[in-house]
Amino acid sequence: MDHTTREQIPDPFAAALAAAGVEVSASAAISDIPGDRRPSLIERAAVLVSGKVYSVPRPGRHDNIARCLYVYGAHLDLEGEVQGFLTNRGEFLTRRTAKAVAMHAGQIVRTVNPDELFSEEMW
């Protein structure tokens, strides 16, 4: 079940992002979903910008998102962007929090940074 909602974004920005495989969802830090007993797993690289989460599925990287936002997102204020990850439960996690979740779930295949998660550590 997807616990995030899609936001309408201006064309042609929406079409360009979709063509690049970038999805947009409302910013939602859902940590306690009633009845959801699944363990949290890291599923997507994500960037939080202006209250919206932009994400790409594996093997996508934060750079894929950043390039699309730079090229097509002229209307966005990228100054306060936060890089992180989305979980299978729809949670946006910072790199630091995502590192702990990925370690607990046994998802890390190699270590790049001891404190923060990088997609290169997982896929």
> Which one is predicted more confidently, 123 or 2?
123
Q: What angle do CA 6, 31, 48 make, to 5 degrees?
A: 45
pLDDT in tens, 63-99: 999 888 888 776 677 788 899 999 998 889 999 999 9
Report the SS3 class of residue 103.
Answer: helix
> Which one is predicted more confidently, 110 or 72?
110
Confidence of residue 19 (pLDDT cuts 50, 70, 90): confident
User: Distances from the Cα of 7 to the Cαs of 31, 53, 89, 94, in angstroms?
Assistant: 21, 10, 18, 21
Has residue 103 got a pLDDT over 60? yes
- Report the chain's mean pLDDT, rounded to a whole number: 80
